[in-house]
Amino acid sequence: MATTSIWRVKGWLGKVVIYAENPEKTANPKFYADRELTEQDGQELSDVIRYAVNSEKTQETSSEDGTPLHCFVSGINCSPATARDEMLAVKKRFGKEDGTVAYHGYQSFAPGEATPELAHEIGMKLAERLWGDRYQVIVATHLDKENHLHNHFVLNTVSFADGIKYHRTRKDYHEMQTVSDELCREYGLSVIEQPQQGRGKQYGEWRAEQEQRPTWRGLIRSDIDEAIRQSMTERQFLVALRKKGYAVKVGKDISVRPPGKERFVRLIRNFGEDYSIEQIRRRILSQTRAEKKPSEPTRQIIRIRLFGSLKKTRKITGFRALYVHYCYLLGIFPKNRPQQNRKRLHFLLREDLLKLDAITAETRLLVRNRIDTAEQLFSYHDEAQDKIAALTAERKQLYKLQRTAAVKSDPEKAAEVKAQITALSKELAALWTEVVLCNSIAERSGVIKEKIKAVREDEQPERKEKCDRTEQQKTAR
């Protein structure tokens, strides 16, 4: 069984080809050793593709006898070593250098069904049948997970035969999956004979699911499943969705709009026939009883002994206070906080569960460097950029030194210069990461404030209602 998809890429063509031919993905994971050259370094080389297909980078040698191991990167109507130049030459010849620069596709195999050699062979035949008569394609088989083999395709948008641009349509999606299924049958692999109708997954969503990260549609589907489990009638189901903050429209299909969003999501189109009105009714009626809503967690009383005075304690403010509070709302900490509470978060907060790693990294930067104000943030940002400029100039001199005859003829000196370049590259990569984090903080901080404000406004009536019920119970006693 193999799933497929293809999407367009705008921007720098060299970066797409670097990713598809990344030796860390295409070398055998049982023998591959970590490389010191990062993607940022690769961008600074005079020919980015030369780095991607360099035999020293894309072939790993065995630790036993030093023989090179196979690397699964091939070209159709182009050479992997010069793919970018050849693709750009075709675009220039026909005067079509603007717009979409390439199409990026994938073909993913079921765990344990194929070997790397077989997966690459099937990927080559798929590309040949779909595009081999008119387009240039790079096929790379990624082995970053031993039980998860998948092919990547980088397709030039302009035909070398007649200059006509490739435009992906629904028919192309269907044809790609059909040809893939035919090849799987030829090679004795499993095929989904009656695939469920529904909207195809975007590559980002597919990757997130593979890495067990939450996704937009996953959050919506989780809420719908929970509302079904908590209902005994269709009316209760719709009420449960509205209590979660969704706007609901019922016609031939059910459409829902998450809180704080503008567009409705059609259930059948996005999640398949299992989420049609009829199937939802069947699922509700098949239940013997409704699932109870999660109760409030019991509060544990902890006694602590305080040394000093809370009045004299310096409180964090500004960016640090904002991010720390937001991390608490998201359930990132305390670490021992019950995970089931995340399901009860407001939708505006739950959507940021997709960005936990980025938010955590930004929080650590702020706390580690005691950054509270915009002035402190921009000052730190500018200092990092100044360091980057200085280190880049220093590394440039080392690159020049590395190319001199004196260094080339002295292996020890060459190794020393290479080690210095590697150390600078690592330091530059860390600084660039901090610059990106500073930019993200400047942009995200305003969004976080608005989200917290919106959540408080939405929860205020519910809190008032809860307080009123408590007062009524006290009065009744």
- Please report whether residue 203 resides in a domain: no
Quote the number of domains for the chain.
3
179-193, 273-287, 428-442, 463-477, range with greatest mean pLDDT: 428-442
At 365 the pLDDT is 93
At 348 the pLDDT is 74
The interaxial angle of helices 216-229 and 277-285, nearest 10 deg, is: 40
Q: Where are the beta strands (DSSP E) in 10-54?
A: none
- Please report whether residue 8 resides in a domain: yes
Higher pLDDT, 125 or 15: 125
- For the cut 50, the answer to whether the pLDDT of residue 32 exceeds it is no
Both tokens assigned to 98: 């603007």
* The residue type at 207: R
Q: Could you tell me the pLDDT band of residue 98, with boundaries at 50, 70 and 90?
A: confident
Look at the block and give the residue holding tokens 């209602």.
465
* The residue type at 46: S
Q: Write the CB contacts of 414 (distance below 8 Å, at least 6 apart in sequence).
A: 402, 407, 408
CATH number for 17: 3.30.930
Higher pLDDT, 334 or 225: 225
Range of the domain at 415: 374-458
- Please report whether residue 321 resides in a domain: no
pTM recorded for the entire structure: 0.45
Same domain, yes or no: 266 and 139: no
- Please report whether residue 431 resides in a domain: yes
Are the CB atoms for 261 and 245 separated by under 8 Å? no
Q: What is the mean pLDDT of residues 424-451?
A: 90
Residue-wise pLDDT tens digits, 38-49? 333 323 222 333
Same domain, yes or no: 110 and 256: no
- Please report whether residue 306 resides in a domain: no
Q: Could you tell me the pLDDT band of residue 298, with boundaries at 50, 70 and 90?
A: low
At 48 the pLDDT is 31
Calculate the average pLDDT of the chain.
Answer: 76
Q: What are residue 102's DSSP bridge partners?
A: 9, 156
- Please report whether residue 316 resides in a domain: no
Residue-wise pLDDT tens digits, 133-153? 999 998 888 775 555 678 888
Same domain, yes or no: 148 and 14: yes
- For the cut 90, the answer to whether the pLDDT of residue 314 exceeds it is no
Same domain, yes or no: 223 and 181: no
Return d(Cα 42, Cα 23) in angstroms, integer: 12
At 404 the pLDDT is 92
Both tokens assigned to 269: 């189109």
Same domain, yes or no: 168 and 226: no
Same domain, yes or no: 24 and 135: yes
At 346 the pLDDT is 74
Same domain, yes or no: 15 and 107: yes
**Considering only CA atoms, which of 7, 38, 390, 402 is closest in space to residue 169?**
7
**Considering only CA atoms, which of 64, 141, 72, 82 is closest in space to residue 108?**
141
Are the CB atoms for 154 and 88 separated by under 8 Å? no
Same domain, yes or no: 380 and 234: no
Q: Write the CB contacts of 101 (distance below 8 Å, at least 6 apart in sequence).
A: 9, 10, 11, 12, 13, 16, 157
Q: What is the mean pLDDT of residues 254-266?
A: 84
Q: Could you tell me the pLDDT band of residue 36, with boundaries at 50, 70 and 90?
A: very low
Return d(Cα 239, Cα 235) in angstroms, integer: 6
Q: What are residue 108's DSSP bridge partners?
A: 3, 150
Same domain, yes or no: 27 and 81: yes
Backbone torsion region of residue 66, taken as left when φ is above 0, otherwise alpha when ψ lies between -120 and 50, otherwise beta: left
Q: What is the mean pLDDT of residues 214-226?
A: 80
Return d(Cα 219, Cα 271) in angstroms, integer: 12
Q: What is the mean pLDDT of residues 323-335?
A: 79
Q: Could you tell me the pLDDT band of residue 386, with boundaries at 50, 70 and 90?
A: very high
At 297 the pLDDT is 52
Same domain, yes or no: 123 and 29: yes
- Please report whether residue 60 resides in a domain: yes
The interaxial angle of helices 83-93 and 13-20, nearest 10 deg, is: 150
**Considering only CA atoms, which of 130, 138, 131 is closest in space to residue 74?**
138
Q: What are residue 154's DSSP bridge partners?
A: 104, 138
At 211 the pLDDT is 53
- For the cut 50, the answer to whether the pLDDT of residue 82 exceeds it is yes
- For the cut 60, the answer to whether the pLDDT of residue 24 exceeds it is no
Same domain, yes or no: 74 and 220: no
Higher pLDDT, 34 or 375: 375
Return d(Cα 15, Cα 42) in angstroms, integer: 9
Cis amide leading into 297 (omega within 30): no
Same domain, yes or no: 154 and 264: no
Cis amide leading into 195 (omega within 30): no
**Considering only CA atoms, which of 189, 170, 183 is closest in space to residue 5?**
170
Q: Could you tell me the pLDDT band of residue 54, with boundaries at 50, 70 and 90?
A: very low
- Please report whether residue 64 resides in a domain: yes
At 208 the pLDDT is 54
At 324 the pLDDT is 87
**Considering only CA atoms, which of 230, 274, 251, 252 is closest in space to residue 241?**
230
At 417 the pLDDT is 92
